[in-house]
Structure 1
């Protein structure tokens, strides 16, 4: 029984260590200097475009210029950041991850680079 516990402990430890190998590096790379094309557009596509494209919901968020304008005027940040009270939280399907919200904030602070 003792051998089984030791083997199980080793396997669990190996699994935990293997799961976090790239996590910190990936986060550091993303948050250092975010751009619309590399970092923000995939988030918008995954979380916003099902409603905010074409003639559906205002504002349209299909292009860099539209996302930049909505970010700079504060509306987009206010809607995705649950710490601010400015109307309905977006996306409707549920809040974005803190990492995605922080990435938007950093992108805004750095001038909304394309």
Structure 2
């Protein structure tokens, strides 16, 4: 009888435990300091967007090679990076930014689109 009670309580504990990935935890942690384009946003854009959003890229008609260009398209960027995988308007095409990277764009807008 003790073994059954032990197994039952162990099962309850295991089921009650929450499992979250590092990205999920990071995404829910508020960013304390102000997000800036140069320090926070530009590295994400350079690593994930420039291949299409620069001269010769598939989206060269809408370049994002400068602060002003990214700032002027921030609403569209935030909308598109949050679309579900499989949506033809999802950016970056063929991939996805992490929740923490998406949070950086959202926080940058909330902080006032600071350049440096």
TM value normalised by structure 2 = 0.64
Q: Which residue of 1 aligns with 2:62?
A: 59
CA, structure 1 residues 31+89, in 2 after alignment: closer, same or farther (shift >3 Å)? farther
How far apart are the structure 2 equivalents of 1:107 and 1:92? 22
CA, structure 1 residues 68+31, in 2 after alignment: closer, same or farther (shift >3 Å)? farther
How many residues of Structure 1 are paired with residues of Structure 2 in the alignment? 85
How far apart are the structure 1 equivalents of 2:102 and 2:91? 11
Q: Which residue of 2 aligns with 1:79?
A: 80
Query: Deviation of residue 31 (structure 1)?
Result: 5.2
Structure 2 residue matching 1:89: 3-state secondary structure:
coil
Query: Deviation of residue 93 (structure 1)?
Result: 2.9
Tell me which protein shows more helix as a share of its residues. 1
Q: How do 1:1-114 and structure 2 match up within 5 A?
A: 32-56=33-57, 57=59, 58-71=61-74, 74-82=75-83, 88-114=89-115
Query: Deviation of residue 55 (structure 1)?
Result: 4.7
Structure 2 residue matching 1:65: 3-state secondary structure:
helix
Q: CA-atom RMSD, angstroms?
A: 2.4
How far apart are the structure 2 equivalents of 1:55 and 1:76? 20
How far apart are the structure 2 equivalents of 1:31 and 1:48? 26
Runs of 4+ in 1 over 2 A off after TM superposition: none
Unaligned runs of 5+ in 1: 1-19
Structure 1 residue matching 2:73: 3-state secondary structure:
helix
TM value normalised by structure 1 = 0.65
Larger radius of gyration: 2
